Structure 1
């Protein structure tokens, strides 16, 4: 199975690009979706988070208080590392499990923290989804209703745009409209089909 690691900073357009590959009948494994499922009520990761960080991060309906945890970990690098030590092994184990069941000619694995977690060896090709920082900030502000300082803290916790681009085998620029994105995805799709043979 030929594996494409799709990565990029917050607000760069990873979900949009993933959706375009899905429209081409290509399997997409999303690390964020996996992480989301792992912290559902009763799941192992949520229990570990409650034990490690305290019950104040759990809502009355036993769901994770995401905004409180996000504020906590993005203000304290050590707490962020502790959370990653709980989640990342479980996320990567689930990625392996899902990969073993695929029949697609190649797979897109959307991993926002691919470079940060030094997991480049997991994939055969790194596809970076890119846009300037001011566009990232505006998109996240519209989508997540976060403050500038919260968005900046998240961006600063990720590798720099320069480092991400340095690691890229391919880059999609998401500053253009949907038709341009579709063309870029189609071009890469043909390339990946050849490389997957």
Structure 2
């Protein structure tokens, strides 16, 4: 079996990071998070730095030459048109970066390459993945996590959730649905079972 490319998605607060941390600790895998890549590409000298300055203006540059990501986030949270323009800069660059990393990991003979993104389906990552996983978690549990772990207000959580695809679409388009509720042992058991199936075909 060559390197298996697996996309991981799920609603905000569904616990994607906890799932990926477990995988990284227990399996020969490379984990790439689209959000982290986006942040990296907005740093000085990287692909998205100048285009983002052109979009928002020089005032978005902080004294240390980095971009004021908090200011950018507050603008695009209120302005859908600016969010679309920002996405048109960031998302293609992120995908290009990830494709290069996939080739690098193949050469290193890594067994599994995981791509995590909340917009995995919208950005058509299914075209480059062998399989898609959907991390499912009850809405109330997700809301409590976001309140507790990130300090988000209910209004902010509701708006973020409203911008994401419905559960039914995730379920229809993903190959595996992983339940990630309060019982982490149950979540890890599901991961172990699924990962074992890959080794059976190696």
> TM-score of the superposition, structure 1-length normalised?
0.90
Cα-to-partner distance string for 1:112-142 (whole Å, 9 max, x where unaligned): 2111223321211110011122222221222
Question: What is the CA-CA distance between 1:54 and the residue it aligns to?
Answer: 2.0
Query: Are 1:45 and 2:51 an aligned pair?
Result: no
Of 134, 143, 147, which residue of structure 2 is paired with 1:137? 143
After TM superposition, the runs of 4+ consecutive aligned structure 1 residues lying more than 4 A away are none
Number of corresponding residues: 196
Is there any run of 5+ residues in structure 1 with no aligned partner, and where? none
- Specify which of 133, 136, 141 is matched with residue 127 of structure 1: 133
Who is 1:191 aligned against? Answer: 197
1:179 counterpart residue number: 185
Say if 2:98 is the partner of 1:95: yes
Structure 1 counterpart SS, 2:62: coil
Take 1:193 and 1:76, find their aligned partners in 2: how far apart are those partners?
47
Does residue 31 of structure 1 match 2:37?
no
Change (3 A) 1:139 1:44: same
Residues 38 and 45, structure 1, Cα contact 8 Å, conserved in 2: yes
**CA deviation string 1:16-75 (max 9, x = no partner):** 111111012322122121111111234231221111122333333222322222222122
The Cα shift of 1:10 comes to: 1.2
Give the root-mean-square deviation of aligned CA atoms. Answer: 1.7
Q: Does 1:77 align with 2:83?
A: no
Cα 1:17–1:11 change in 2 (3 A) is same
Q: Is 2:47–2:93's contact at 8 Å kept on the other side of the alignment?
A: no
Per-residue CA deviations over 1:168-196 (Å, capped at 9, x if unaligned) read: 2101111132211211111111123345x
Q: Which residue of 2 aligns with 1:5?
A: 7
